[in-house]
């Protein structure tokens, strides 16, 4: 088979990547003007073992990074202000960003809560004939006007999504950069391998074994080497195209699993308390399933123990389900089989084998219909008066303990999450 050989893409840079700077921390500083200038860390809980999920630029100057424990962060910056996540606030900024982006092109994709892509490919001629750099500066200004003066974003413009994201990370904060075939080599010359999105330590090690130590060497590597020796899959060819500015990341992902995990708030919870948390998780999953119009046929459950071990079991069922009762019943079936040699520290439930919901199908069995109608009525009440107004008695004690948190990555359930907050 002939080896793939492509030149650098000479296409016009028409993909714009927009990334809000330290999103959650910046939004907190925007909301609370007195926090501006102080190191701020955002966590999902205000406990000392909580993980920092966003740090302001002031905090980053102290060496505070995302993923660090709050107690460690406080050691680095004694005056650190820790704030708990506030999803409705981030949703507001997210909606504003989407509105601004969509006013330029309908070909807008949000990659996560704080970043999105505008594909100007089909709108350059008639709708957006102005230079994209000018549009980029306008977007920055509109963000400041519509949300607040403290808001800033990085913008990258390039021929494909990967290079646009790379361009957006060149000058933080508040940068605007363009990468095209003319300056691609120059930009790569100034980067490390791990500066490239998707290349972390493991991929770096793979590249190193193929004799590739810099992004420029990566760019010059033949497709055959990347496919057969470095990545040993079609991913190698994707990287070959991606680095040259050809688009390979323009695809939509589908939901294959709906799940929820919870780190237990303390060791030695009683069996009833753990089941209460589990029941709450199952209700959340049921809510997500019905929100997306799915039903599931499979359940998987995992438990992590304080020893570091974890137990995991999954099972596919003959009939599909979407009611909270069914999810909890099937989950318990598996959960009761877990070993009980050590204290549990984390529990998780996922539903898989998803298919379009069959809830509009009336069953021949009266008791099935009754359960379905009950679920509909409970959902209607909860929609009217707020989620978990009507809940399992078992879940009630967990309602104030297990809080819905900001998810990384996907924004699939963001609206739902904001309703619950």
Partner 1 sequence: MENTVKINKNVSIVAYYFKNAGRRLKGFPKLMEYEGRRVIFTETGLRHLVRKGQKLVHVFDMTDGSADYRLEFDTESLDWRLIYMADMNYGEPVATT
Between 92 and 405, name the residue whose CB sits nearer to partner 1. Answer: 92
User: Does the protein bind partner 1 through residue 32 (CB under 8 A)?
Assistant: yes
Between 233 and 389, name the residue whose CB sits nearer to partner 1. Answer: 389
User: Does the protein bind partner 1 through residue 147 (CB under 8 A)?
Assistant: yes
Other Cβ atoms less than 10 A from the Cβ of 324: the count is 25
* Interactions with partner 1, residue window 241-270 (CB under 8 A): none
User: Does the protein bind partner 1 through residue 96 (CB under 8 A)?
Assistant: yes
Reading the block at residue 93, the tokens are: 């900024």
Between 74 and 124, name the residue whose CB sits nearer to partner 1. Answer: 74
* Interactions with partner 1, residue window 378-397 (CB under 8 A): 382-386, 389
Burial class of residue 352 (count of CB atoms within 10 Å of its CB; 0-12, 13-18, 19+): middle
User: Does the protein bind partner 1 through residue 31 (CB under 8 A)?
Assistant: yes
* Interactions with partner 1, residue window 60-89 (CB under 8 A): 61-62, 79, 81, 88-89
φ, ψ at 184 (rounded to 5°): -60, -50
Total residues contacting partner 1 by CB under 8 A comes to 35
User: Does the protein bind partner 1 through residue 291 (CB under 8 A)?
Assistant: no
Between 61 and 109, name the residue whose CB sits nearer to partner 1. Answer: 61
The answer to whether residues 414 and 113 touch, using CB atoms and an 8 Å cutoff, is yes
Q: Which stretch binds partner 1 (CB under 8 A): 34-42, 261-269, 270-278, 302-310?
A: 34-42
The answer to whether residues 223 and 237 touch, using CB atoms and an 8 Å cutoff, is yes
Q: How far is the CB of 403 from partner 1 (least distance, A)?
A: 15
Q: How far is the CB of 421 from partner 1 (least distance, A)?
A: 7
Count, residues in the chain? 421
Q: Which stretch binds partner 1 (CB under 8 A): 141-149, 206-214, 247-255, 268-276?
A: 141-149
For residue 54, give the nearest of 21, 22, 15, 97 by alpha carbon.
Answer: 22
Other Cβ atoms less than 10 A from the Cβ of 23: the count is 23
Distance of CA 145 to the CA centre of its chain: 27
SS3 annotation, 4-21: CCCCCCCCCCCEEEEEEC
Concatenating the DSSP letter of every residue in 221-250 gives S-HHHIIIIIS-STHHHHHHHHHTT-----
Q: Which residues bind partner 1 (CB under 8 A)?
A: 27, 30-39, 57-58, 61-62, 79, 81, 88-89, 91-92, 96, 145-148, 382-386, 389, 418-419, 421
């Amino acid at each position: 088979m002939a080896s793939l050989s492509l030149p650098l893409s000479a296409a016009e840079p028409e993909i714009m990547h927009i990334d809000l700077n330290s999103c959650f921390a910046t939004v907190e500083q925007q909301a609370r003007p007195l926090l501006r200038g102080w190191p701020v860390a955002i966590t999902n809980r205000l406990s000392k073992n909580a993980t920092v999920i966003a740090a302001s630029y002031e905090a980053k100057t102290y060496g505070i990074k995302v993923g660090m424990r709050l107690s460690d962060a406080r050691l680095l910056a004694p005056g650190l202000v820790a704030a708990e996540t506030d999803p409705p606030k981030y949703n507001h900024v997210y909606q504003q960003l989407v509105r601004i982006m969509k006013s330029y092109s309908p070909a807008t994709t949000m990659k996560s809560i704080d970043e999105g892509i505008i594909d100007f490919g089909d709108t350059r001629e008639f709708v957006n004939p102005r230079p994209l750099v000018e549009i980029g500066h306008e977007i920055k200004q509109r963000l400041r006007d519509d949300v607040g003066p403290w808001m800033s974003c990085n913008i990258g413009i390039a021929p494909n999504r990967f290079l646009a994201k790379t361009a957006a990370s060149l000058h933080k904060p508040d940068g605007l950069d363009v990468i095209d075939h003319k300056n691609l080599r120059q930009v790569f010359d100034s980067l490390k391998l791990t500066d490239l999105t998707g290349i972390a330590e493991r991929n770096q090690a793979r590249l190193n074994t193929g004799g590739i130590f810099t992004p420029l060497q990566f760019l010059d590597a033949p497709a055959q080497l990347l496919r057969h020796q470095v990545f040993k899959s079609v991913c190698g060819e994707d990287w070959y195209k991606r680095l040259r500015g050809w688009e390979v990341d323009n695809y939509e992902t589908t939901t294959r699993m709906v799940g929820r995990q919870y780190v237990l708030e303390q060791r030695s919870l009683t069996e009833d308390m753990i089941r209460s948390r589990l029941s709450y998780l199952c209700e959340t999953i049921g809510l997500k399933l019905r929100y997306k119009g799915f039903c599931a046929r499979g359940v998987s459950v995992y438990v992590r123990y304080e020893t570091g071990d974890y137990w995991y079991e999954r099972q596919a069922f003959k009939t599909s389900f979407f009611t909270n009762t069914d999810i909890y019943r099937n989950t318990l079936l598996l959960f009761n089989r877990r070993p009980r040699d050590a204290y549990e520290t984390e529990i998780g439930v996922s539903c898989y084998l998803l298919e379009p919901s069959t809830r509009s199908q009336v069953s021949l069995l009266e008791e099935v219909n009754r359960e379905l109608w009950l679920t509909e009525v409970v959902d209607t009440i909860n929609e009217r008066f707020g989620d978990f107004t009507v809940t399992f008695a078992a879940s009630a004690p967990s309602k104030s303990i297990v809080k819905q948190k900001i998810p990384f990555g996907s924004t699939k359930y963001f609206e739902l999450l904001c309703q619950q907050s």
